[in-house]
Each structure stands twice: as structure tokens, then as C-alpha cells.
A and B are shown apart, each in its own frame.
Chain A
């Protein structure tokens, strides 16, 4: 494992859908397609 975070630049639409724990299926943006996130 790397000892320190790598400074990378973020690309793409920041509102793209992903999963974050229980927020997995909630659309962050109604017109976009999806992120899943970590559980609190």
C-alpha cells in the first residue's frame, strides 16, 4: 500500500452516479446515470 495519497486530478462529471453505502441507489442528479457510496 502506498504511504501517502497520490495527487491525481479528477476528470469527468462530478455528479455522475456512484454508490456510497446506503445512498447507493439514490440518484445524485436526476438526469445522470449513477455512483454507489460508503456506509456511515
Chain B
């Protein structure tokens, strides 16, 4: 049995292109004739954002970027339309702009308990589609429970910041790699892919990584 292709994905839970890129990447994996092992790595896009930002995402964008609400709305409409094209529903009218460090800590907790993929999808859906507040520990613990994790243990890990060092390590690794934007995919520690690329691009990268593995001669024991 072959060893799965290793894919490390740096992303943030409130990154609209990360969710879109996730769908495009998953479509590539579905077409790929081989095993893929995915690990989500933490990347905080806006670590200075308060947990309870006062205002709507349109207010946030207008304030932070110095643009008009109309311009902010156009940006949101555009990304929402692209999300829809890959089967996602973005409801910016419900979104709670927040700080994502606890969500990242929870993703590491989930990784330690074999549920990272499930939690990643759950957090993204909660944030972009359902209007969930992914900056609050109580809601995060509840979401953890929904994917089969021990909600009480998750709450404790968040209260004690058990996995904060792992979040910081991921961020440090991102800096070391020169990663400035997300989503960012590292395939078999050989190839980097930045952004919500097309499915064909992801598929070609997986196939290339697999072909190179096959080309490596096996040493006689």
C-alpha cells in the first residue's frame, strides 16, 4: 500500500478564498487516483480583530480598508457569487467578524483527536453560512461536540490554551516559508500552491507528486 500524498494547508477560518479553495481542492482529490493526507495549519489573517467586533462585515471592510459601504458590498457580492459557483452559501448579512485564534486552537485539539477535517468544515460552514460566532469558546466547544469531539474536553483545552503553542508554531512556519496569503498548499514538501486555484491545478500537482514518487527507485534491502 502506498503512502498518501501529504498536503499541508495553511488557512484561516474566516478567509473566504480558503473555503472556496478547499472545495476546489476536494474536487481534485475526488478525481485523483491515490490517497491524500491533509493537515490544516493555522494562519491568522487579522490577529488584532476583537472577539466581538461591533458592526457588520460591511462596516468592518469599510473601516479597515477606507472604502465606502457600497464598495465593500460589491466585494462581498463578488466573492459570494464565486462561492456559489462551487456550491457554497455565503451569508455576509449574518457573519460575526471575530478573532480566530481560539478556532485555530480548537482545530489543533481536533487534530489530536482525529477529527480535524470534520471540524474544519464545520467551522467554515458555521462562519460563512450559518452566522455562528466562532470567536467564543462556548460556541466552539458546542461545534466540537457536533463533530464527535468531547465538548467538555474541548472547552477545557480552550480555557487553558493547551494548543496555543501549536498555533504559534504554524504561524512561525508560515513566516519561515514566506507565506503571506492563504489558502496556501504545500504538497509532499515539494510544491507550493497559493490561492484558490482551479481544480485542474490541484489535480495536476497531486499527479506530479505521485509520479515523482513512482520514479524514485526502491533500494534493495
Q: List chain A positions with a Cβ less than 8 A from chain B.
A: 1-2, 4-6, 8-14, 16-22, 24-27, 33-39
Contact = CB atoms under 8 A, between A and B. Distances in A.
Interface residues on B, range: 35 or more
Interface string B157-184: 0000000000001001100111011111
A8 B12 contact: no
B79 interface: yes
A34 B95 CA distance: 19
Interface string B34-52: 0000000001011110000
B145 interface: no
B191 A34 contact: no
A13 to B, nearest CB: 6
Interface of B: 12, 15-18, 20-21, 43, 45-48, 61, 64-65, 75-76, 78-79, 82, 169, 172-173, 176-178, 180-184, 186-187, 189-198, 201, 204-205, 208
Given A20-B45, A34-B17, 16 more contacts: A2-B173, A8-B187, A9-B190, A12-B201, A17-B195, A18-B184, A19-B17, A19-B45, A21-B46, A24-B17, A25-B61, A33-B196, A34-B79, A36-B16, A37-B180, A39-B48
A38 B47 CA distance: 9
